[in-house]
């Protein structure tokens, strides 16, 4: 199996269906599988997906375990050499899969790869980012970035300051289109991606752990995917999960200083 595509659904039946349909338009010739993890959706039965997409593998979770753990449920059953974590609120506009896979196959040191993500109105999303650091904190605090050229500011600061028209090696990428490889996952603790956070911030951890293994995290704008950002419902984590998130956030912020 070449490619496993993992999509986590939570009460986004229409968006998830559109996402799967867009994937199916561009998988001709690929050896692939689609694993759909349903995070205990209440909108409608998860089995409704099988009426339209009978060949997908449905993985129902008895409870909403969040984005990161939901992806790990899919990773545990995925058979592909390459693994694509794809948000349920994304749609492929072009054949993003083949050129991204070709890059992974050509460079075994790429541990994670993302493409250009845009809002439905065409605005670019800030996918390539730096880890939090004391240097960046001080630059922003004292507005040191204003003394840099636009090109240097984008390279040093990335995120909001980077125009996302250039391929580059970065610290971490968004998890909305996150292409990695089985060989990377198998080297991580527990053979899974870090899933301490219920939702958000997990992609920072992923980038840190993958780079720690000696792999590169790369952003490449040669393929484009629409991301209906914040269209996915944000379920409230349990009290315990809230406490874990609150405790981890400051530690993650200063882990890279």
38 touches 46 (CB < 8 A):
yes
State the total domains in the chain: 1
Per-residue tokens: 188:
């991580």
Count of C-beta atoms within a 10 Å radius of residue 93: 15
CA dist 36 and 60 (Å) reads 8
**How much of the chain is helix, strand and coil, in % rounded to 5?**
35, 25, 40
How many residues are recorded in the chain?
Answer: 257
pLDDT, one tens digit for every residue, the chain (257 residues): 899 999 999 999 999 999 999 999 999 899 999 999 999 999 999 999 999 999 999 999 999 999 999 999 999 999 999 999 999 999 999 899 999 999 999 999 999 999 999 999 999 898 888 776 555 554 554 454 444 444 544 444 444 455 678 898 999 999 999 999 999 999 999 999 998 876 567 999 999 999 999 999 999 999 999 999 865 555 544 444 333 333 344 444 444 44
Structural domain boundaries enclosing 60: 3-254
Instruction: Check residue 118 and give its pLDDT.
Output: 95
CA dist 75 and 225 (Å) reads 22
CB-neighbour burial class of residue 200 (10 A; exposed 0-12, middle 13-18, buried 19+): middle
Instruction: Check residue 160 and give its pLDDT.
Output: 44
Q: What is the CATH number of the domain that holds 14?
A: 3.90.550.10
Instruction: Check residue 35 and give its pLDDT.
Output: 99
Instruction: Check residue 239 and give its pLDDT.
Output: 43
Count of C-beta atoms within a 10 Å radius of residue 80: 20
Instruction: Check residue 229 and give its pLDDT.
Output: 81
């Amino acid at each position: 199996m070449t490619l496993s595509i993992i999509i986590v659904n939570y009460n986004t039946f229409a968006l998830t269906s559109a996402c799967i349909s867009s994937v199916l338009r561009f998988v001709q010739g690929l050896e692939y599988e689609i694993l759909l993890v349903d995070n205990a959706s209440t909108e409608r039965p998860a089995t409704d997906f099988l009426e339209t997409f009978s060949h997908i593998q449905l993985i129902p979770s008895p409870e909403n375990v969040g984005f990161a753990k939901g992806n790990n449920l899919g990773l545990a059953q995925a058979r592909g050499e390459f693994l694509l974590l794809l948000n349920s609120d994304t749609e492929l506009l072009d054949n993003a899969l083949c050129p991204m896979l070709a890059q992974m196959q050509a460079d075994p040191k790429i541990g994670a790869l993302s493409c250009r993500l845009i809002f439905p109105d065409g605005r670019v999303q800030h996918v390539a980012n730096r880890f939090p650091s004391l240097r960046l904190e001080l630059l922003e605090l004292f507005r040191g970035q204003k003394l840099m050229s636009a090109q240097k500011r984008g390279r040093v600061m990335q995120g909001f300051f980077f125009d996302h028209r250039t391929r580059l090696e970065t610290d971490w990428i968004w998890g909305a289109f996150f292409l990695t490889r089985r060989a990377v996952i198998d080297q991580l603790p527990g053979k899974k991606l870090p899933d301490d956070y219920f939702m958000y911030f997990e992609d920072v951890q992923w980038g840190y752990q993958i780079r720690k293994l000696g792999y590169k995290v790369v952003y490449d704008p040669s393929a484009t995917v629409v991301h209906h950002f914040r269209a996915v419902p944000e379920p409230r984590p349990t009290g315990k999960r809230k406490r874990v998130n609150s405790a981890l956030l400051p530690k993650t912020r200063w882990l890279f200083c």
